[in-house]
Amino acid sequence: MDALKVAFCDFAAQYAVLQSELDAAFRRVCASGWYILGREVAAFEEEFALWCGAAQGVGVASGTDALRLALMALDINPGAEVITAANAGVPTVAAIVLQGARPVFADVESGSLTLSTADAARRITPRTRALLPIHLYGQCADMDPLLDLARQHHIPVIEDACQAHGASLGPRRAGTLGTLACFSFYPTKNLGAVGDGGMVLAQDKGLADRVRQLRDYGQSRKFHQEILGTNSRLDELQAALLRVKLPHLTAWNQRRIEIARRYRELIHNPAVSLPAERPGGTHVYHLYAVRCARRDALAAHLAAQGVQTMMHYPLPAYRQEAYRDLKLNSDCPETERACAEVLSLPLYPELRDDEVAHVAATVNSFKP
């Protein structure tokens, strides 16, 4: 018998379950003859905002655009500094830089790997215009102290909730905690499109309307552009497909949490530490990132046993070639350590129990 192979993700498995509904939604949109900013987008904006507990939703082309448009809507312009974390790949940082603002990196907490309020506080200057915490791996940043800090300095908080559909802090879901919140529907996300997509959530209708205008060339009425805007619209097809998937998101998140619980029960290798959960919150395990001082050797050991892994993320944003000339601050020791040690194990709702057991047993058989 062939050895068990465990893929890092499996979109086909999800499609197999939802095929008839997804195919019907696809045909409905194609037959409607209306492909941009129509009923599907409006309905999905309302349904996703309601699911998160937010008042307003604005569908956009990607999570990166959601972040850029949120910054634009809040008038975060050249010269502004935005405090964020450097351990989540580059999209958040790219959005800030593309907007002409300057990312200032605060270090992350050693357990959750989300933005440290104490470190963010010491990075505030008269040019700081926003805090941009990232709800990393499916867990909310420690928002209450961050919101207090922002209030003291009269600046907004933009949530990067691109990895955190359904994560919560007490009764409040990601997407309702800051001034604006940004989601991605990239296919691997807990709620993923069949392509790219994103959304900005807001409690304030005025701000949401501004994002609506910005995503559509800056117009609120066709061919009348009142402000400088761009084209970043979620399309009708993606919205219709996401509407099929949204009713399954709660159960999918439950299954992710269940798999994380199984990993916690089954993995007991002293060389590998498991992700920390913030008390009082719900971690929805977009990613299951373990840490290991010999991370590359662990990845190779898993690969040899047919288990695919990924590194989220191997380089702090300030070490990326594209940002070198900007001379961004790099004094973030926890971020450095995390980037050198994290390794994501397969975790998605369709992962079978025997696959989970195989991954755990393979981690346990790793000898550093």
Ligand X SMILES: Cc1ncc(COP(=O)(O)O)c(C=O)c1O
Of 329, 244, 333, 307, the C-alpha closest to 21 is 244
- Minimum distance between the CB of residue 139 and ligand X, rounded to whole angstroms? 12
Of 261, 262, 257, 270, the C-alpha closest to 364 is 270
Token pair of 282, please?
Answer: 């719900």
The total number of residues written for the chain in this structure: 368
- Minimum distance between the CB of residue 108 and ligand X, rounded to whole angstroms? 13
- Minimum distance between the CB of residue 63 and ligand X, rounded to whole angstroms? 2
Q: Are 175 and 169 in contact (CB under 8 A)?
A: no
- At residue 310, φ and ψ (nearest 5 deg) are -140, 165
52 or 162: CB nearest ligand X = 162
Give the other-Cβ count within 10 Å of 270's Cβ.
6
88 or 272: CB nearest ligand X = 88
62 or 116: CB nearest ligand X = 62
- Minimum distance between the CB of residue 222 and ligand X, rounded to whole angstroms? 27
- For CA atoms 352, 354, 359, 363, the dihedral sign is positive
Sheet containing 281-282: order of strands: 172-173, 168-169, 281-282
91 or 175: CB nearest ligand X = 91
- Minimum distance between the CB of residue 48 and ligand X, rounded to whole angstroms? 14
58 or 134: CB nearest ligand X = 134
Q: Is 172 exposed, middle or buried (0-12, 13-18, 19+ CB in 10 A)?
A: middle
162 or 169: CB nearest ligand X = 162
Q: How far is CA 265 from the centre of its chain?
A: 26
- Minimum distance between the CB of residue 88 and ligand X, rounded to whole angstroms? 4
- Minimum distance between the CB of residue 65 and ligand X, rounded to whole angstroms? 7
63 or 349: CB nearest ligand X = 63
What does each C-alpha distance from 253 to 11, 168, 256, 281, 340 come to in angstroms?
16, 12, 5, 14, 28
- Minimum distance between the CB of residue 367 and ligand X, rounded to whole angstroms? 32
142 or 160: CB nearest ligand X = 160
Of 33, 150, 30, 162, the C-alpha closest to 94 is 162
Q: Are 309 and 359 in contact (CB under 8 A)?
A: no
Residues that bind ligand X (CB under 6 A): 62-64, 88, 91-92, 134, 160, 162-163, 184, 186, 196, 198
Q: Are 152 and 131 in contact (CB under 8 A)?
A: no
